């Protein structure tokens, strides 16, 4: 699955293991991730592609506009998974 801006992924490694995050940008072998709470849009987390598991969900650009809307969108997706 190709990752693009707005793709929702689950972290497989690190302190944030198991958390849902949204892709804000892609690099060569890494992505920049945000969750709106601990990792805000102003300071995204750089993560290796091997350390994330993609989901089928993609957020609209309007959900990536503010930290609050991003956090709310990821909480709704997390609720659906449970």
Is the confidence at residue 40, as pLDDT, over 80? yes
pLDDT per position as a tens digit, 50-78: 999 999 999 999 999 999 999 999 999 99
Bridge partner list, 9? 21, 54
**Confidence at residue 1, expressed as pLDDT on a 0 to 100 scale:** 65
Global confidence as pTM: 0.90
Helix then strand count (H, E) for the chain reads 1, 5
Q: Provide the strand spans (E) within 13-73.
A: 20-26, 30-34, 45-48, 52-58
Q: Domains in the chain and their CATH numbers?
A: 7-81 (2.30.30.30)
pLDDT per position as a tens digit, 3-26: 999 999 999 999 999 999 999 999
């Amino acid at each position: 699955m190709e990752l693009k801006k707005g793709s929702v992924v689950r972290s497989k490694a690190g302190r944030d293991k198991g958390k849902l995050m949204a892709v804000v940008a892609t690099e060569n072998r890494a992505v920049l991730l945000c969750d709106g709470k601990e990792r805000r849009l102003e300071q995204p987390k750089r993560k290796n592609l091997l350390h994330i598991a993609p989901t089928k969900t993609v957020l609209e650009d309007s959900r990536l506009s503010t930290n609050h809307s991003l956090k709310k969108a990821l909480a709704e997706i997390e609720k659906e998974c449970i």
